[in-house]
Structure 1
Amino acid sequence: MTLYGWDTSDYDVGRGLTPARVAAASGLGIHFLTSKGTEQSPSSVFRSQGCGWILAAGRDAGIPYLGMYIVVRSGVPAATQAQTAITYADANLAWWRTWPGFFWQVDLERWPYDSVAPSVGVQVATELEARTTRAVVMYASRGQYGSSELGGFPRWNANYPHNLDETFTAAYNRAGGDTGVGWQAYGTPSAVPRIWQYTSTARIGAQRTCDANAFRGTDTDFAVMIGATSAGGTDVQTVSIVTIYPGSALAADGAFHPVRWSDGNTAYRITAAGLIGHQSKIDLVGLQKGDLVRLRAVYGFPGVSTPTVQMLNQQTVSVDPALIGGGYVTISANENHQVPAGTTVTFEVAVTPAPNTGGRNLSFGNATRRSVLLFS
């Protein structure tokens, strides 16, 4: 399995990045998102204008793994650079301390104006982990730091076999996919990179010139890498990410219909008491401009005869879906609830057709998915 990610900065804002585009990226399959927060040199401190809202948009769109990155520089104590980053995060994305999927990204690069030594990245990463207990992933390319001492941090390799204006999935396939050149081991100790940034010119929805990344593994594997769960699964007891049941259809009749998922079920049963986080994406083919799409969750609590219903999203199709490839993704924000063992969650969808368009049967697109996490 391959998970895709997006590495952003204020440059992306200058190229048109908006919260809507971040939300669209989630629907297209972006599973982890990072954004530049700070860069501290001996003479100045850069503080991003966009990092806070970019990561908040990712959170609201249901992207489970979110990271802030710190461009490390020579000539400034590691402890100072780490604390500057933490202070910035507290001021601009205060929710990071309670977001289960938050992690740090240390951006270690040899710039024309500052050939940053590998030890700087390792020292800042060590400070960040010690001060926050959140994991660090080390962005340090094989081309620049091939045999360097990089510590035991997960590697993030930048290697661009091609830089073409194409979708992020097409770019990954062109670069060789899961057997591409970017997956070669490097550094001391030698390690295969966990994340490969394989192009800097990808298209992610309507956004162009994007840094696109891949992670070889499952959702649980990523959670283990950043410490959101242990290898034994003691922190996250359940991770459920499933797609739509093949051939599923939906009548556009205004009524709510439960979604049937690829495991054959409509309801998801919570196996133990704890805090659940859930999110869903509904990609519908056959919608027309003006259709009203509603998405809700129905909770069945053990010993309670009447279910609890929560509206998750309600939106009118604002564009002709045929102009954007035929599908239209409705995304619920990530919802967190404390529930008892035995609780069931069912996602239901209703489509009220636009006036004078008649009833239709809709099909589900490939971006449809459900994710449920249970934190003990």
Structure 2
Amino acid sequence: MTLYGWDTSDYDVSRGLTPARVAAAAALGISFLTSKGTEQSPSGVFHSLSCGWILTAGRNAGIPYLGMYVVVRSGVPTATQAQTAIAYADAHLPWWSSWPGFFWQIDLERWPYDSVAPAVGVQVGTELERRTSKTAVMYASKGQYGSSALGDFPRWNANYPHNLDEAFTTAYTRAGGDTGPGWQAYGTPSAVPRIWQYTSTARIGAQHTCDANAFRGTHTEFAVMIGDTAEGGKDVKTASIVTIYPGFTVPADGAFHAIRWSDGHTGYQVTAAGIIGHQSKLDLAGLHQGDLVQVRAVYVFPGNPTPTAQALNQQTVTVNPTTIGDQFVVISANENHQVPAGTTITFEVAVTPAPGTAGRNLTFGDATRKTVLLFS
């Protein structure tokens, strides 16, 4: 399995990036999103104008893994650079510390005006992990840092076999895909990169000139990579992202119906006590303008057979879905709750039809998915 990611900055905003385009990227399969936050040099501090709203838009669109990147520089104490980054995140991303999928991206590069030593990146990453208990990923290309000492951070390599204006998935295939040149081991200790930035000119939906990235692995493996040092030092015990069961439909009858997922189940059982984070995205075909879509989570706690229902989203279809390809995506906000082992969670959907339009069954598109992370 391959997951795709997008590395953004204020430059993407100058090329037309909006929250709607971030949401479109999520629907197209972007699973991790990063954005530049700070860069501190002896001459001053750069604060991104856009990182806050870009990552918040990613969170709202259901992208589970979100990272702020810190461009490290020479000549400034590494502890100072780390603290500047944390202060920026606190001010512009007030939810970052409680988001299970948040991570730091260390942007280590040899600029024409500053050939940054690898030790600077390692020290800033170490400081960020020590101060926040969030994982740092080391963006340092093989082409620039070769056999340099890069620590034990997950490695992120930039290598562009081609730079063409084409869809990000097509660009990955053209670059060699899961056996492409960007997956070669490098650095000291020698390690195969966990993420490969394979082009800087991809199209992601309507957005052009994008830095596109790939991760060879499952959602569970990505979550574990960045979640080993989740808030409070909690370990990821369970992580799952599943899509819809093939052929599953739901009637537009106003009643709540349990969603059947691709693993064959409707309920998800928590295997250990801890904080559970979950989110659902429903890509519905067959809706009419005026339909009311409701999504809820139903908890059954061990020893208590009475279910507890929590509303996640309620949305009226305000546009004619046929004008946007007959698809309408409803996303629930991310929810985090302390639950005991043995808790079962079921996601349910109800569609109350617009007047005079009853008697329909709705189908689910490819963007439908359920995300569950457990930290204990």
Q: Same fold by TM-score, threshold 0.5 exceeded?
A: yes
Q: Would the aligned equivalents of 1:3 and 1:219 in 2 still touch at CA under 8 Å?
A: yes
Q: How does 1:1-376 map to 2 (within 5 A)?
A: 1-228=1-228, 235-357=235-357, 359-376=359-376
Q: Would the aligned equivalents of 1:27 and 1:331 in 2 still touch at CA under 8 Å?
A: no
Q: Rate the CA distance shift 1:94–1:181 in 2: closer, same or farther, 3 A.
A: same
How many residue pairs align between the two structures?
374
Any idea what the Cα deviations from partners look like across 1:289-328, whole Å, max 9, x if unmatched? 4433221112223343432222211223344444544432
Aligned sequence identity (%):
79
Any idea what the Cα deviations from partners look like across 1:25-54, whole Å, max 9, x if unmatched? 333322222111101111121011221222
Q: Would the aligned equivalents of 2:104 and 2:136 in 1 still touch at CA under 8 Å?
A: yes
Deviation, 1:215, is 0.9
Q: Rate the CA distance shift 1:237–1:303 in 2: closer, same or farther, 3 A.
A: same
Deviation, 1:157, is 0.9
Q: Rate the CA distance shift 1:152–1:303 in 2: closer, same or farther, 3 A.
A: closer
Distance 2:162 2:357 in 1: 45
Amino acid across the alignment from 2:7? D
Any idea what the Cα deviations from partners look like across 1:233-284, whole Å, max 9, x if unmatched? 9722222221111111122233322111112111222233322111111112
Distance 2:111 2:146 in 1: 16
- Look up the SS of the partner of 1:83 in the other structure: helix
Amino acid across the alignment from 1:117? A
Q: Would the aligned equivalents of 2:227 and 2:236 in 1 still touch at CA under 8 Å?
A: no
Distance 1:375 1:35 in 2: 25
Higher mean C-alpha deviation, range 258-267 or range 72-81: 72-81
Q: Would the aligned equivalents of 1:81 and 1:124 in 2 still touch at CA under 8 Å?
A: yes
The two structures, once aligned, show a CA RMSD in angstroms of 2.4
Amino acid across the alignment from 2:218? T
Q: Would the aligned equivalents of 1:195 and 1:215 in 2 still touch at CA under 8 Å?
A: yes
Q: Would the aligned equivalents of 1:252 and 1:353 in 2 still touch at CA under 8 Å?
A: yes
- Look up the SS of the partner of 2:282 in the other structure: strand
Deviation, 1:85, is 1.2
Q: Would the aligned equivalents of 1:24 and 1:329 in 2 still touch at CA under 8 Å?
A: no
Unaligned runs of 5+ residues in structure 2 are none
Amino acid across the alignment from 1:338? Q
Unaligned runs of 5+ residues in structure 1 are none
Higher mean C-alpha deviation, range 334-343 or range 15-24: 15-24
Q: Would the aligned equivalents of 2:299 and 2:346 in 1 still touch at CA under 8 Å?
A: yes
Q: Rate the CA distance shift 1:269–1:153 in 2: closer, same or farther, 3 A.
A: closer
Q: Would the aligned equivalents of 1:223 and 1:229 in 2 still touch at CA under 8 Å?
A: no
